[in-house]
Amino acid sequence: MLYTEIPTQRPVTPLLDGIDHPQQLRQLEQSQLAQVADELRQYILYAAGQSGGHFGANLGVIELTVALHYCFNTPQDRLVWDVGHQAYPHKVLTGRRERITTIRTKDGLAAFPAREESEFDTFGVGHSSTAISAGLGMALARRYQQDPCDVVAIVGDGAMTAGMAFEAMNDAVAHDADLIVVLNDNDMSISCSTGGFAKHLAAIWETGQFINLNEHGEAYVQPHPKWTYNSRLHQSATNAADNLFKAIGFDYFGPFDGHDVEQLAQVFQALKKRKGPRLVHIYTKKGKGFAPAEADPITYHAITKISPTATTTPTKKSGPKYSDVFGQWLCDQAAQDERLLAITPAMCEGSGMVQFAKQYPERFFDVAIAEQHAVTLAAGMACEGLKPVVAIYSTFLQRGYDQLIHDVALQNLDVTFGIDRAGLVGEDGPTHAGAYDYAYMRTVPNMVIMAPKDENECRQMLHTAYHYNGPTAVRYPRGVGTGAEIQQQMTALDIGKAEIVAEFNVDAEQQISILAFGSRVAASIEAAEQCANKHAIGVRVVNMRFVKPLDEQMIRELAESTQLFVTVEEHAVMAGAGSAVNEFLAHARILKPMLNLGLPDEFLHQATHQQMLQDCGLDSNGILASIEQAWFS
């Protein structure tokens, strides 16, 4: 059934309400699965409206999820979900139905599968393209333990563009592993799928036939039914007789209609009778069953909470996001320098690059979910005298760390990194937090690392990084900033120079110096003013701007009149920017009391961004409380 509105009242779901464990689902007749799927779709629509969160991908796997839990003996059999934002229906069918509206909230359900949350969540995921490797590990482990079970890895067509997925498939064939891979082909990841792999999937479709299984698990070829396969058209598609998956060594079946739950159940039941590496190719539609999401799957990738009187259009915060600032700078800088090329690993929309892609299509490179390739691609471009800019999330740059070191920094190549989603990311939780980038970048020779205090400084830092001859990174947070006025004129900053942005009680005998990095400057100023007024002590706040190189001269000068140094960063304390300050002071033999504030040595679970800052003591009140405990108690 096609729905046009998100329900604000809980729908009537009699069959779904009787499923607290997949075993109860398996007691139903196969003819009842379509009703279960429809009720589950209604419930997911309702729940997403109550909680917000990932949306389109979950609607697209409703029938697949029902069929998987109906056919496989979960949790004894293992389902491994790649890219966990498609796992809401899975959570509903595995005992978490009434808690699904708490998803992505403090003390609620995690946004992604989490092993500590349920025995049905076999593998924790956040980054894509890990499911085949993890599933293969499970299958080989169970073989070694002589306790075999069915292992199913559910992978999207976007996730299959990552090299890790093909490494795992190659290894699965080498071990003749009993592993089932379900390729959920919806022509999208978050952005649209691109590249040769997407063309190959289209070519498989365009052959006009598919590989089916009979009830005994025997394969046969028959003509395609009359399906409408999304909107994909690839005139350059080639003959798919030499199927890529078959060439690797997988038994290939499909493509099947991923929204025909009874057919999927028949396929999976038959597939269980075969052994070895098997791949089932299904096609689905992101946002299936909700008309606005089917028409605009990118906008409806995730939604915010809605009220009973609100429209179903996702709401947006006012003011430009940091990603918007980056996108505008990219266009402006490209207009001034034709050497600029821009690269993204499948995050065009999230990184603010839509306008650039339209304005400069010949200078825009979406490499799909291939972060390692993105970094080395940029290195190659820089070797030819061009000036590549890589737009990437902090958590995803972790996947390209070796390339950052060996391919860019070691050769001192002129590559600019715009690092988005740095620091805490709120409801997406620990898998998407950018908590470690200072640590993993500042130890790398030749790197210059900047962190802006607001939107305007972000623009100027990007300009500075671009014009610096060598590897540079500008690290900025998710969402909107402080509301600072953005100057269109771009002015390069002095490399490694900090600035004092606030001073209170400058004539006081005792002085505290707060060295603040990036997003924590504004909160530090608030805390400093409260501290100065409350305790009649001098407090100054320094916008450090650069994590590497540090403004060592300013720190040395401040040390002459500072009784306590406080460093504040939205990053792990261990090995972070504060540690860099400690290292300098120790090397310079400057002995001063130090207070390093930042993220604790633990993975922080989902909550709102503000709640997480409060819990970590990184809002203004928390900074003040830490200073008072360290200096006045």
What is the C-alpha to C-alpha distance for residues 608 and 15, in angstroms, rounded to an integer? Answer: 34
What is the C-alpha to C-alpha distance for residues 122 and 135, in angstroms, rounded to an integer? Answer: 9
Residue type at position 231: S
Model confidence at 191: pLDDT above 60: no
| Mutual angle of helices 455-467 and 322-336, in 10-degree steps | 40
In the structure encoding, which two tokens stand for residue 169, read together?
Answer: 């498939």
Residue 85, marked binder: yes
Model confidence at 322: pLDDT above 80: yes
Model confidence at 463: pLDDT above 50: yes
Cis peptide before 549 (omega within 30 of 0): yes
Break the chain into its structural domains and give their ranges.
74-285, 322-475, 499-631
pLDDT at 180: 98
Model confidence at 190: pLDDT above 70: no
Residue 290, marked binder: yes
pLDDT at 502: 98
pLDDT at 234: 36
Segment among 6-10, 309-313, 480-484, 495-499 with least mean pLDDT: 309-313
pLDDT at 228: 45
pLDDT at 600: 97
Per the CATH hierarchy, to which homologous superfamily does domain 74-285 belong? Answer: Thiamin diphosphate (ThDP)-binding fold, Pyr/PP domains (3.40.50.970)
Mean pLDDT of 502-512: 96
Q: Residue 34's pLDDT band (boundaries 50, 70, 90)?
A: very high
Q: Residue 508's pLDDT band (boundaries 50, 70, 90)?
A: very high
Beta carbons of 60 and 186 less than 8 angstroms apart: yes
pLDDT at 237: 36
Mean pLDDT of 582-602: 98
Q: Residues, the chain, total?
A: 633
Mean pLDDT of 518-546: 98
Q: Residue 239's pLDDT band (boundaries 50, 70, 90)?
A: very low
pLDDT in tens, 130-148: 999 999 999 999 999 999 9
What is the C-alpha to C-alpha distance for residues 14 and 547, in angstroms, rounded to an integer? Answer: 57
pLDDT at 317: 54
Beta carbons of 165 and 159 less than 8 angstroms apart: yes
Residue 127, marked binder: yes
Quickly count: other Cβ atoms within 10 Å of residue 225's Cβ.
Answer: 10
Identical fold between 74-285 and 499-631 = yes
Segment among 74-88, 302-316, 505-519, 556-570 with least mean pLDDT: 302-316
Beta carbons of 50 and 270 less than 8 angstroms apart: no
Q: Residue 625's pLDDT band (boundaries 50, 70, 90)?
A: very high
What is the C-alpha to C-alpha distance for residues 581 and 594, in angstroms, rounded to an integer? Answer: 9
Model confidence at 240: pLDDT above 60: no
Mean pLDDT of 623-628: 98
Q: Residue 162's pLDDT band (boundaries 50, 70, 90)?
A: confident
Model confidence at 15: pLDDT above 90: yes
Model confidence at 255: pLDDT above 60: yes
Higher pLDDT, residue 209 or 454: 454
Range among 77-86, 353-362, 423-432 with highest mean pLDDT value: 353-362
Q: Which residues contact 433 (CB under 8 A, 6 or more apart)?
A: 394, 395, 423, 424, 425, 604
Q: What is the architecture, at CATH level 2, of domain 499-631? A: 3-Layer(aba) Sandwich (3.40)
DSSP 124-184: --SSSS-HHHHHHHHHHHHHHTT----EEEEEETTGGGSHHHHHHHHHHHHTT--EEEEEE
**For 98-118, b where at least 16 C-beta lie within 10 A, e where not — what string?**
eebbebbbeebbbbbbbeebb
Beta carbons of 154 and 133 less than 8 angstroms apart: no
Per the CATH hierarchy, to which homologous superfamily does domain 322-475 belong? Answer: Thiamin diphosphate (ThDP)-binding fold, Pyr/PP domains (3.40.50.970)
N-term to C-term CA, the chain: 64
Mean pLDDT of 165-189: 91
Residue 243, marked binder: no
Average pLDDT, the chain: 91
Residue 159, marked binder: yes
Segment among 282-291, 409-418, 446-455, 534-543 with least mean pLDDT: 282-291
In the structure encoding, which two tokens stand for residue 603, read together?
Answer: 């993975």
Residue 428, marked binder: no
Q: Which residues contact 58 (CB under 8 A, 6 or more apart)?
A: 44, 48, 85, 86, 87, 88, 89
Residue type at position 20: D
Mean pLDDT of 19-47: 97
DSSP 443-459: TSTT-EEE--SSHHHHH
Verdict on whether the full-model pTM lies above 0.85: yes
Beta carbons of 351 and 448 less than 8 angstroms apart: no
Model confidence at 414: pLDDT above 50: yes
Q: Which residues contact 377 (CB under 8 A, 6 or more apart)?
A: 343, 365, 367, 388
Of the CA atoms within 13 Å of residue 324, those in its CB half-sphere come to: 13
Residue 128, marked binder: yes
What is the C-alpha to C-alpha distance for residues 418 and 347, in angstroms, rounded to an integer? Answer: 12
Residue 186, marked binder: yes
Q: Residue 514's pLDDT band (boundaries 50, 70, 90)?
A: very high
pLDDT at 225: 58
Beta carbons of 272 and 265 less than 8 angstroms apart: no
pLDDT at 207: 65
**Residue from 128, 122, 179 nearest 156 by CA:** 128
pLDDT at 189: 52
- Secondary structure of 430-444 as H, E, C letters: CCCCECCHHHHHHCC
pLDDT at 157: 87
In the structure encoding, which two tokens stand for residue 63, read together?
Answer: 């029938």
What is the C-alpha to C-alpha distance for residues 17 and 11, in angstroms, rounded to an integer? Answer: 11
By annotation, the residues acting in catalysis are 286, 371, 399
In the structure encoding, which two tokens stand for residue 320, read together?
Answer: 């430009």
